[in-house]
Amino acid sequence: MDPFIHLENVSMIYGNNGTSAAALDGVSLSIDAGEYVVITGESGAGKSTLLTILGGLQVPSSGAVSMRGVDLSMLSADGLADFRRETIGFIFQAYHLLPYLSARENVMVPMSPLRMSGRAKADRADALLSSVGLPGKEDRLPSELSGGECQRVAIARALVHDPPVLLADEPTGNLDSTTGEQILDLFSGLHKSGKTVLMVTHNRANLFRASRAIRLRDGRVAEDDPFLAPYQAL
Amino acid sequence: MNIRKLAWKNLLRRKTRAVFTGLGIFLGIGTFVALASLTAQMEGAVRDKLDKFGANILVTPRAEQLSLGFGDISLGGAQVAHAKLTMEDRKAIESIALKDRLRIVAPYLLAAADASGKDFVWMGVSAADIGQARPWWKISGSTIREREEVILGSEAAAALDKGPGGTVTSGNRKFRVAGVLAPTGEKEDAMVIADIRDVQALGKNPKGVTFFEVAALCKDCPVEDIVAQIGGALPGAKVSAIRQVVESRKAAVDQFRKLGLGVSAIVLAIAGLMVFVTVMGSVQERTREIGVLRAVGFRRRAILSLLFWESGWVSLVSSVSGAAVGLIAAMLASPLFGIERGGIAPSPALIGVAIGMTLGLLGAIPPARKAAALSPTEAIRSL
């Protein structure tokens, strides 16, 4: 059986004015459905680049990426957009909510191009906001919410199309430890509900919730431990 | 939430930018509508005024020029008319198919007769027609209102040493000088002007007419058709359009139209440029936002649609408000341009709104295409 996500010898080289630097250098990985993978590494190790390639936001310089049996390199820009909408939920460190929209409207944004009634979209958004612990705050603007609440809105937005994969880039990076724990609880719940979670993080405390840890160093996979023994022993 | 609403909400958030974007269209469409409306009204006013400003068709007896001479001796020439014009011909002219376009048919009779012992050319006119036929005449005193009154041309008045209230005799008839004509630079300065019936009596030419001046209302100016119809009604007459008058009327109106179009084109081009610059700036300012939208699955078309909706909202609001202000400005300014009855012309406003919408959407094409072509990675590099 094919792996759910597969990277084969993926390299990403950024070049400018004759200089070039490899953000990823021959990375090969296979991730099964339902895994909770934490990607760690120093700054510049290639974590975020790996995440954007996995999310179809970026095409690698070389190598192949497939997800659910689909070769992402074969998809057009719009094909990749459709694929992201149906398959992937993105969660960013800085939330990236639209500041002029309420929490409900932010969750509804990915549904904007869809032909659905406004009522159905609002009901779906309200249900998701309730599931991430924000009932009663649907009409608040991001400026009226705490950091943790903003991240919950961002998670609800990522879940709006019920994607099987969640890609999170430092989702607790801007939060205090207590709030960060609450957000990680949410991710654990989503993982238990069957989602495949890939999370880039600096925080080793996040590792204890994951089923697998991948450490990148200089664009290469330095460690890939499906049992997290080194970390759990810490 | 849909793209239309998302666009509207974004505009409300960036009110200053939206206002600035719309300002160009507002000013452009306002100027266009005001100028187009004023031009349309001025065209009508100019036509009216030019139509009132004398005749544009001349009807004279058909004549042949005969040269007189004997051997090498030239005795000049003589005109031989095939038929004479009479007052009855006025009815024939006024019965043509395009009679509704005839503002005035004025008969004139020229006759040589004495005035207080001196020889003068007398010009007979229909007293009732003088005001319309010769609106530029400036008369010291009053115009002739009844028979046995005359107006003296300025040179004739000087030669006779007569002024308003004086008396001029011709044969055994006595005429009261109603007024004196201010110098016109034309032949009438040396003439005695009287009611045509008096001149017919003096010249012993009852019902005689030397020529008719016809003033045709010149909107869409079918002057050739009118000339042909008068020629058909009066086979013995020579009917000619005073081409210079017709052409000058057209030229005057065309100048107004060209001026309005030229100024509008410049203002609209600037407005289009402003839309382009501000929407392009908006795209660059919102690179991250566009990246987020792409990350959550917006297709290129959805990004294009979002930016077109934004530009469309701005264009609609600014075009409609610009057109409304342009109409009001045209109404208020119309007296300054000599338009006596200013009114609302809806067609420039409708055209203005259509142009404003088109301009806004065209100006948004390059930035929208740029936004849609942004690679998600480039767009969210700062994420």
Q: What percent of chain A has pLDDT over 70?
A: 95
B149-152/B118-125 β-pairing: unpaired
Q: Which two tokens stand for residue B192?
A: 């005695």
Task: Please indicate if any CB of chain A lies within 8 Å of the CB of B289.
Answer: yes
What residues of chain B score a pLDDT lower than 50?
382-383
Torsion of Cα atoms, B158 then B162 then B163 then B164, to 10°: -140
Q: What is the pLDDT of residues B180-208, one digit of tens each?
A: 999 988 888 999 999 999 999 998 888 88
Confidence label for A233 from pLDDT (cuts 50, 70 and 90): very low
**Count of domains forming chain A:** 1
* Token pair 């917006």 in the structure block, residue: B298
Q: Which two tokens stand for residue A226?
A: 């499906």
* Burial of B145 from C-beta contacts in 10 A (0-12 / 13-18 / 19+): exposed
Q: Beta strands of B42-101 (E only): which ranges?
A: 57-61, 63-70, 73-81, 85-86
C-alpha dist (Å) from residue B154 to A140, B124, B128, B278: 89, 17, 22, 67
- CA B236 – CA A61 distance, rounded (Å): 95
Q: Which of A98, A110, A169 sits opposite B289 (nearest CB)?
A: A98
Q: Which of A77, A100, A157 sits opposite B296 (nearest CB)?
A: A157
b (16+ CB within 10 A) / e for B313-323: bbbbbbbbbbb
With a threshold of 0.85, tell me whether the complex ipTM lies above it: no
Q: What is the pLDDT of residue B47?
A: 64
- CA A142 – CA B328 distance, rounded (Å): 43
Side-chain half-sphere of A227: how many Cα atoms within 13 Å?
3
Rounded mean pLDDT of chain B? Answer: 82
> Could you tell me which residues come within 8 angstroms of residue B354 by beta carbon, excluding any fewer than 6 positions away?
none
Instruction: Residue A156: give the domain boundaries.
Output: 5-232
- CA B335 – CA B342 distance, rounded (Å): 7
Q: What pairs with residue B357 in β-bridges?
A: none
Neighbours of A17 (CB within 10 A): 5
Is the pLDDT at A189 greater than 70, yes or no? Answer: yes
- CA B159 – CA B176 distance, rounded (Å): 16
Neighbours of A205 (CB within 10 A): 14
CATH at A223: 3.40.50.300
**What's at B17, amino acid-wise?**
R
Side-chain half-sphere of A233: how many Cα atoms within 13 Å?
5
Most confident of A31-35, A228-232, B83-87, B376-380: A31-35
Residue spans of alpha helices (H) in chain A: 47-54, 77-87, 103-108, 118-131, 147-158, 177-192, 229-232
Q: What is the pLDDT of residue B382?
A: 47
Q: What is the pLDDT of residue B158?
A: 92
CB within 8 Å: A105 and B298? no
CB within 8 Å: A111 and B1? yes
Q: What is the pLDDT of residue A232?
A: 47
pLDDT (average), residues A34-62: 89
Closest residue of chain A to B7, computed from CA coordinates? A112
Mutate to test the interface with A, among B13, B16, B292 (most CBs of A within 10 A): B292
Q: Which two tokens stand for residue B280?
A: 């392009």
Q: What is the pLDDT of residue A93?
A: 83
Q: Which of A57, A94, A108 sits opposite B295 (nearest CB)?
A: A57
Q: What is the pLDDT of residues A54-75, one digit of tens each?
A: 988 888 999 999 998 889 888 8
C-alpha dist (Å) from residue A55 to A15, A50, A228, B131, B190: 21, 9, 24, 88, 99
Task: Please indicate if any CB of chain A lies within 8 Å of the CB of B2.
Answer: yes
More confident residue, B99 or A160: A160
CB within 8 Å: A108 and B3? no
CA distance, residue B15 to nearest chain A CA (Å):
12
Residue spans of alpha helices (H) in chain B: 3-13, 15-52, 88-93, 130-133, 154-160, 196-202, 223-233, 243-285, 287-295, 300-333, 346-373, 376-379
CA distance, residue A28 to nearest chain B CA (Å):
21
> Could you tell me which residues come within 8 angstroms of residue A61 by beta carbon, excluding any fewer than 6 positions away?
A11, A12, A13
H/E run at residue B167: strand B167-170
